Amino acid sequence: MDDECDLTGVKTLRLFPLPGVVFFPHSVLPLHIFEPRYRQMTADALESDGLITMVMARPARSEESFEGPPELEEYACVGRIFKHKQLSDGRYNLLLVGLKRVRLIRELATDKLYRLADAEIVEEPADSPADTGIKKLLVNQFRRHMQPSGGIDQELDSILSGDLSLAIVTDILAHTLPLTASDKQTLLAETNPKLRVANLLCHLKDPAATDDKSAREFPPSFSAN
């Protein structure tokens, strides 16, 4: 693997801030790209490593906050473009697959239209023998939770039945469940898969925390920048 595709240590990444959008490793995010800065980002990504980092923009705290770029969450997710179509007017439709969590270290000065940052790539721990039982408990609780609303998508059920690590399962469920953006960001920022399990089990036991039927779509519909 060449250095452009090396996802270890610290890497300079292109940032795509969106309010209310949290992207997870092992999930797929459709994007409709129309703003000039993100068209430039997409073109640059397609010409190099294909990487774009989705990060949730924090809400403005005052009217003065609107004068500058929005503040960003510390944890984000780097993804790779695996399918794209450029439209005749220069817009793009993309499918971005999530690769790894990242922790933003510092933003960089740039002459690009879009934002850049150095980020630490977060490595997931390997499963322990006990994780098999924890994973089974989590998936079964998820299936029971979704049963009253018609169950889960057959494709998703097949994926969850596969030989996946605990870390991957927690990210798939965090992406799929109709949680608030704040709750999803908490799960993204948690680097310990077992603590993500505890968080998810709390949500799965509380129907009021996951009552947005529109968010149960799998796969999700396009997000616009």
pLDDT band at 202, cuts 50/70/90?
very high
- Answer yes or no: CATH 2.30.130.40 is held by domain 3-123: yes
The reported pTM is 0.87
Among residues of the chain, what percentage have pLDDT more than 70? 86
Confirm if 11 and 157 have CB atoms less than 8 A apart: no
Q: Lowest mean pLDDT: which of 41-55, 113-127, 200-214?
A: 200-214
Domain positions in the chain are 3-123, 131-216
**Binning pLDDT at 50, 70 and 90, where does residue 153 land?**
confident
Instruction: Give residue 211's pLDDT.
Output: 46
Integer Cα distance of 42 and 158 in angstroms: 32
Q: In the predicted model, what is the mean pLDDT of residues 207-222?
A: 47
Nearest-angstrom CA–CA distance, 16 and 29 = 12
pLDDT at position 215: 39
